[in-house]
Structure 1
Amino acid sequence: MAIVLAAGKGTRMKSDLPKVLVPVAGRPMIRYVIDALRAAGVDRIVVVVGYEADLVERELAGERGVEFVLQQEQLGTGHAVMMARAAIAEATGPVVVVAGDSPMLQASSLQALLEEFARSRPACLLGTAHRDDPTGLGRVVRDARGHFVGVVEHKDCTPEQRAITEVNMSTYLFDSRELLASLDKLTTDNAQGEYYITDCPGLLLSEGKGVLALPALKPCEALSINTPDDLAAVEAELARTSEPPHP
């Protein structure tokens, strides 16, 4: 199953629409994400809605395997995933967590992550990518043996860490039980006072659980949409990408 985070408002998009409904090349951006998940073989998709939830539900009404949970208050990405606890508890395979504003997400990348998860059976697998210019993105830090250590946000990086080209892509696969356990341990001890799904891998790692990072995603998949300029960049990339999202 997959959890798609789709509760946000498109404030910087200068749109009254929920962010995930902003059109990209003529289609609401969340449809590209849903299509990629389906093409990768994910048959149950839980969409976390919030701002103008009824509009998102109406857009996806009748879609096979898609259901909705409501995040009444937007208290962070971890809080959004908490809203899907009941669905997570029912999951029998890995739980994929992705952002609904990532229309460049590719089915082939998700398939590679699912295959690695089936082979390694970690508590958590992060999908990462290498970017020539990783500015602004969280760096994936590894130890001398190449094992995942953590993600450091750009603003917190040392000069050495800023030279790292492997970046976090906000694409996660969790063992369902381990995800529920880590959600129970999340706190709001941060500047924004929110619950972050990005904290879950570190919590699992601190308990000696297996946490892996696989650079299976293409650099273009880091193109999320926050501003009209981002939208233009994604549309340009869609026009030239070798593996367009599935219509």
Structure 2
Amino acid sequence: MSEVAAIVLAAGKSKRMKSDTPKVLHLACGRPMVDYVLDAAREAGATKIVLVVGHKADLVRQSLEHHQDVDFALQAEQLGTGHAAMCCRDQLHGHRGPILVLAGDTPLLKGSSLKALVQELQSAGAACVVGTADTENNQGLGRIVRSDSGEFLRIVEQKDATVEEQQITEINTGCFAFDGESLFAALDQVRPENAQGEYYLTDCVEILRNQGKRVIAARTFDIQEAMGVNTQEQLAEVEKVMQN
């Protein structure tokens, strides 16, 4: 099995946390929430982890430099998830194996689910696997559109979804497994052609499909794992789950 690497996105500034502390350093049951994401990545077999820092980068770096297996990549300007992944090119130069791309604010992620994602990538010989989960409570989440035969077609964001697509309960968790070479080749083609002027990681999915490469979606997660923390209330909710 090829060596697995992981990119953990931790550069964002969260106004909704109403705190000066960088979001990923907020404590969940006594540990910075990003610690749990790093643990899950290791459990999935990642031997090389790149943490993308931006907002209060020095503080995040200092707080996490005791992790011997973590490299840091600086995203000086927050120009989207695709741009964050681009910032890891030097650290992952020459990496040929799978690359997991994960959000640093999802402390309920399980290593077993990430391992299953990597296994799906390898057994399908895919360029990308989109990690999905099922939920009735799908407000604001990207929907997974499949063909009648169940083949993955695309991710559609809530604001762009038709009435019919809004009924879809399979959602994008924001966890991806990519073939390393395919990821960086696709990132070269991502353009900030959207209202925010940002580079979206999800555009890689479409780029790879258009190149005729295999892209699949796999339900390897339960919805709790995809629970991102954007507010103090959500952090309290995550802690409640951890304590149970």
Inter-partner Cα distance in structure 1 for 2:92 and 2:103: 17
Partner residue in 2 for 1:177: 181
Partner residue in 2 for 1:243: none
1:80 maps to amino acid: A
Q: Deviations over 1:50-96 (max 9, x none)?
A: 11111111111131211101011111111110001123332121011
5+ long unaligned stretches in structure 1:
241-247
5+ long unaligned stretches in structure 2:
none
Q: SS of the counterpart of 2:92?
A: helix
Of 213, 233, 236, the residue aligned with 1:232 is: 236
Q: Deviations over 1:14-69 (max 9, x none)?
A: 11111111111221110010011111211110001011111111111131211101
Of 24, 30, 39, the residue aligned with 1:35 is: 39
Q: Deviations over 1:167-226 (max 9, x none)?
A: 001111111111111101101110100001011101111121100000000110121011
Alpha-carbon RMSD = 1.1
> Normalising to structure 2: TM-score of the pair?
0.95
Q: Deviations over 1:215-240 (max 9, x none)?
A: 00011012101111211221122222
Partner residue in 2 for 1:50: 54
Inter-partner Cα distance in structure 2 for 1:196 and 1:231: 26
Partner residue in 2 for 1:136: 140
Q: Does 1:104 align with 2:108?
A: yes
Contact 2:121–2:129, Cα closer than 8 Å, also in 1: yes
Q: SS of the counterpart of 1:12?
A: helix
Inter-partner Cα distance in structure 2 for 1:169 and 1:176: 20
Matches for 1:75-114 after TM superposition, within 5 Å: 75-114=79-118
Aligned length: 240
Partner residue in 2 for 1:22: 26
Contact 1:10–1:16, Cα closer than 8 Å, also in 2: no
Partner residue in 1 for 2:72: 68
Inter-partner Cα distance in structure 2 for 1:140 and 1:172: 13
The sequence identity of aligned pairs, in percent, is 49
2:215 maps to amino acid: V
Of 188, 195, 198, the residue aligned with 1:191 is: 195
2:146 maps to amino acid: R
Of 168, 171, 180, the residue aligned with 2:172 is: 168
Contact 1:93–1:175, Cα closer than 8 Å, also in 2: yes
Partner residue in 2 for 1:147: 151
Inter-partner Cα distance in structure 2 for 1:178 and 1:88: 13
